[in-house]
């Protein structure tokens, strides 16, 4: 049972790491663009394949702890899946690739050789389990199917396929923008800042630095609250550039029909908020100063 728990943890870690550090970033930029598309999958097909593979990994992590079809389906499926990955790793090693293979995303960087060794050891444990596992006479095909379909549907529900850069969608935040630009057309960056917030000022300055170093950097629009409206000129001086912007009342007054900054953002999220949109598709949403705070180095990777 200990070996099964370890194998389960390994598959769970493999699936989870492909969604690290942020699900849409991990699955799109790291897994799809870093692994699947270079393997020959089209940009249209890769989002579906990525979600299917991750669902299978979560499913195996769950199913291997059960006895239902363990010897007939789960163990052979696990061995086959790891063998296919190992063949790809062997080819990468043959080509002289020593970069992160992406097996565990950016959570645990591994070279193709390290990953191949890990896979060989795992296959050994799986083969041992297969040899020493008795066939369960009470297998339930419907139970197994329901488990897999539930995990697969959950993957697509939590991470719906977005046709980034092709079909226009409408961002839920774009309706509040009053500016001479369509936030749902092309690549745009929408920010929610307080002019006197030091973290907001630092985020704006970092965006200026990135825009100077990246060709075709998206246009930026800032929505300020009116709590420190008089400090907006000082804000742009610190940021190093003046951007398209507007001001919303921080709170909604009884006679004010406008949407307030508080209702739009800070009742659910914290300042500073930086939202990267591609044709209205929300690619990345940074907010606050905690784990999801704006990170210039991570953000830069979206354009590499």
Element (H, E) at 47: helix 46-63
- 21 lies in the same domain as 128: yes
Residues 150 and 18 grouped into a single domain = yes
Strand, helix or coil for residue 136: coil
Nearest to 176 by CA among 246, 226, 227: 246
> Both 146 and 194 in a single domain?
no
First to last CA, the chain: 44
**Are residues 179 and 230 both part of a single domain?**
yes
What region does 109 belong to: left with phi over 0, alpha with psi -120 to 50, or beta?
beta
Q: Do 109 and 247 reside in the same domain of the chain? A: no
DSSP letter, residue 217:
P
Query: Tokens in use for 87?
Result: 């063949």
Give the total number of structural domains in the chain.
Answer: 2
- What's the CA angle centered on 266, arms 262 and 271, to 5 degrees? 120
Residue burial 271-282, b: 16+ Cβ < 10 Å; e: rest = bbbbbbbbbbbb
**CA–CA gap between residue 266 and residue 227 (Å, rounded):** 13
Same domain, yes or no, for 130 and 206? no
Statement to judge: residues 188 and 238 lie in one domain: yes
Query: Could you tell me if 214 and 121 lie in one domain?
Result: no
In a domain, 205, yes or no: yes
Same-domain check for residues 130 and 99: yes
Model pTM score? 0.59
- 59 and 94 part of one domain: yes
Which of helix, strand or coil describes residue 246?
strand
Same domain? For 152 and 203 the reply is no
Q: Round to whole Å and give the CA distance between 22 and 291.
A: 10
CB 280 within 8 A of CB 183: yes
pLDDT tens digit at each of 304 positions of the chain: 899 999 999 999 999 999 887 787 678 767 887 788 777 787 678 889 999 999 999 999 999 999 999 999 999 999 999 999 999 899 889 888 888 888 887 788 899 999 999 999 999 999 999 999 988 888 999 999 999 999 999 999 988 876 544 444 555 676 778 777 788 788 899 999 999 999 999 999 999 999 999 988 999 999 998 888 999 999 999 999 999 999 888 776 544 545 677 777 756 678 898 988 888 777 888 888 887 889 998 888 888 6
**d(Cα 154, Cα 65) in Å, to the nearest integer?**
20
Which residues is 219 bridged to in the sheet? 188
Q: How many helices (H) and strands (E) does the chain have?
A: 10, 5
Domain that holds residue 35: 2-158
Domain shared by 225 and 297, yes or no: yes
Contact 235, 150 (CB under 8 A): no
| Residue 44, domain member (yes or no) | yes
Last residue of a domain, one of 109, 134, 158: 158
């Amino acid at each position: 049972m200990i070996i099964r728990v370890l194998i389960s943890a390994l598959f769970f870690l493999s699936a989870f790491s492909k969604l690290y550090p942020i699900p849409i970033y991990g699955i799109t930029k790291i897994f799809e663009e870093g692994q699947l598309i270079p393997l020959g999958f089209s940009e249209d097909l890769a989002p579906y394949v990525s979600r299917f593979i991750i669902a299978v990994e979560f499913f195996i992590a769950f199913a291997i702890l059960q006895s239902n079809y363990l010897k007939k389906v789960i163990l052979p499926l696990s061995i086959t899946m790891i063998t296919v990955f190992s063949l790809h790793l062997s080819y990468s090693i043959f080509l002289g690739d020593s970069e992160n293979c992406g097996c565990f995303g950016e959570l645990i960087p591994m070279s193709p050789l390290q990953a191949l060794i890990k896979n060989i050891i795992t296959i050994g444990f799986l083969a041992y389990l297969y040899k020493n596992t008795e066939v369960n006479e009470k297998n339930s095909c419907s139970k197994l199917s329901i488990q897999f379909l539930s995990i697969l549907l959950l993957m697509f529900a939590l991470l719906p396929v977005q046709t980034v850069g092709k079909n226009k969608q409408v961002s839920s935040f774009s309706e509040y923008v009053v500016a001479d630009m369509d936030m749902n057309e092309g690549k745009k960056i929408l920010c929610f800042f307080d002019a006197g917030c030091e973290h907001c000022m630092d985020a704006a300055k970092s965006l200026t630095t990135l825009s100077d170093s990246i060709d075709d950097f998206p246009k930026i629009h800032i929505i300020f609250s009116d709590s420190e409206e008089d400090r907006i000129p000082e804000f742009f001086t610190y940021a190093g550039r003046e951007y398209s912007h507007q001001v919303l009342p921080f709170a909604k007054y009884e006679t004010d029909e406008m949407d307030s900054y508080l209702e739009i953002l800070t009742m659910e999220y914290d300042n500073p908020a930086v939202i990267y949109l591609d044709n209205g598709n929300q690619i990345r949403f940074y907010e606050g100063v905690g784990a999801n705070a704006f990170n210039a180095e991570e953000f830069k990777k979206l354009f590499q």
